[in-house]
Amino acid sequence: MNGWIGKILKVNLTKKEVTTWEPPKDLYKKWLGGTGLGFKILYDYYNYKAEPLSPEIPLIFASGPLEGTRMPGAARHSVVSISPHTNTVADALSGGFFGVYMKFAGYDAIIIEGASEKPVYLYIEDDRVEIRDASHLWGKSVKETMAILTKDLGRKFSFSVIGPAGENLVRYSVIMNDRMHAAGRTGMGAVMGSKKLKAIAVTGSKRKIPEADPDEMTELLREVITVRMTWNPALKRSLRIFGTSALVMLMNETGILPTKNFQEGVFEYAEDISGEALRERILIDRHSCFGCPIACKRHTKTENAEGDGPEYETVVNLGSMLYVKRIEDVAELNYLANDLGLDTISLGGTLATAMELSELGKFPEKIEWGDKDKAAELMYKIARREGIGDDLAEGARRLAKKYGAPEVAVHVKGLEAPAYDPRGAFGMALAYGTSYRGACHLRGWSISFEVIGVPHLINRFSPVEKPTLMAYLQNLAMVYDSLVLCQHYGMEFDEEPLADVISAVTGVEYDKEGLLKIGERIWNLARLINIARGFGRKDDMLPPKLLKPLENGPSKGKVIPYEDMLNHYYDARGWDENGIPTKSKLEDLGLLEEGK
């Protein structure tokens, strides 16, 4: 095979068994890799209706056919399971080097089955695979764990590890890899922790992934790198110079920067937490994922600490959402979250919920807006589930419900909302409401169309074109997350160049329509899994707070006509009024058997 390795590693921690599996080639051709491959394996071979932290539920690390090739941006991997945070089918994507090294070791995916009784880590070096004792690592932070493993094994390995939050089954704990890259959302760290798997160390000698048509690939790369990437202002300039936090000022100016737990859409101190402030005050270096020329990652340093980031989502969720006013303070909260293994979006949403509950007199501890030191104190308690931290470790939805004000939490399906207020970009309302894993900006990023104007600008307050646009963007996102390719490249590359590249790499002929149909197939399979787990239209709703108009900023007074948009979205999807895929839609996608 070209692009794909054709082999998957299976590790059963209960039985302490290691095996390899060569799946049928059609599995790759129809589902690509990454998220698509993970969902299909979960659906076909495991009890996807089991409880999220049950040993019956696997944890799947999956790469894609472009990973490790010459295609820039193809350095991500998808982690698939059932979320302990949302109870939905879930994936968490991460960049860095881990997914590439997994392919260099000779595997398209690693499936972790069962659960160990004692802490272990997984050692992978080509065909040498060992389940090793990790009692000396248990309880260590992410940095400590990586430092010990690097000292013991050397720098040729890539590591995926959990921190104390994952060990203690915090519902929004993450899996960290390489230089503080995070498979962040949906609590995959807790799934890993429930299996008593502290870390995976991987390296390999297969440093060249074969391409079916190297000459054609060379020609395509000239177009991709020399022309399209060079002239794209977002990729070549904005992301490279300021990183993802370049968005802060633009989102603030358009009135969609979540502030004080979505009570406001404009942050008075936005300039002090902006990408410009980060670059001027704390930036010391830039770095990239494997083979990426953009280098959007920031290495930063304050007077008190040093680390990577923060990214845009973190700047907002640990900045304006909490009313933290200085980029230095946001950065230090980010360093701590990474070291403990906490998702910064869900963490910010949960802490903001606690602050608003405190403001209402409904929280047992006083926590004021902007109190960075109190936030840091609570983060330690969350990661260890100590005292009030045990409640906060459950996330915003469960926290607000326990303390008698469920309307305070801003979430969909239990997943805290990211850093765009949909009252100022109606497409994001559908993105949050209809995502299979809960409120998410990476399952249909309409901000590109609604605010940035790439590839063209549309009316952000109009509901008319949004349902069909969102279905298209979601399908394209599934293609990206299954190839697995960084979605930043989506600002320049749609399905047509992707079809050309994947065809040149694999030798399987794809066209743009066929590639989008694969994305649609993956999205519908995720829907079928969620329906089997009890989800439906009732779970595709926005929280009450987002259905009320903002009282300040450029988005003031705008009301999302959400129910009507949702109806049209279901029509665009070929689903019935309850959000269930129709027989004809499943038949068209080759999913009829799965839909029965």
User: Please, what is the Cα angle at 580 between 576 and 584, to 5 degrees?
Assistant: 70
The pairing of beta strand 297-301 with beta strand 306-308: antiparallel
**Architecture of the domain defined by 8-203:** 4-Layer Sandwich (3.60)
- What confidence score (pLDDT) does residue 295 get? 83
- What confidence score (pLDDT) does residue 595 get? 45
Q: Which CATH class is domain 422-595?
A: mainly alpha
Q: What sign has the CA pseudo-torsion 585, 587, 589, 592?
A: positive
Contact, 397 vs 229, CB < 8 A? no
Entry pTM: 0.97
Delimiting residues of CATH 1.10.599.10 domain(s) in the chain: 422-595
Sheet with 175-177, side-by-side order of all strands? 128-133, 120-125, 197-203, 158-161, 175-177, 181-183
Q: Which CATH class is domain 243-409?
A: mainly alpha
Q: What is the largest CA-CA distance in the chain?
A: 67
- What confidence score (pLDDT) does residue 189 get? 98
Contact, 411 vs 86, CB < 8 A? no
Q: What is the mean pLDDT of each run of 10 residues along the chain (596 residues)?
A: 96 98 96 98 97 97 95 94 98 96 98 98 98 98 98 96 98 94 96 98 93 95 79 79 92 97 98 96 92 87 95 97 98 98 98 98 97 98 98 98 98 98 98 98 95 92 96 97 91 90 97 97 98 98 97 93 98 98 96 64
Burial class (CB in 10 A: 0-12, 13-18, 19+), 227: exposed
CB count within 10 Å of CB 284 equals: 9
Delimiting residues of CATH 1.10.569.10 domain(s) in the chain: 243-409
Residue type, 209: I
Whole-number Å distance between alpha carbons of 328 and 325: 9
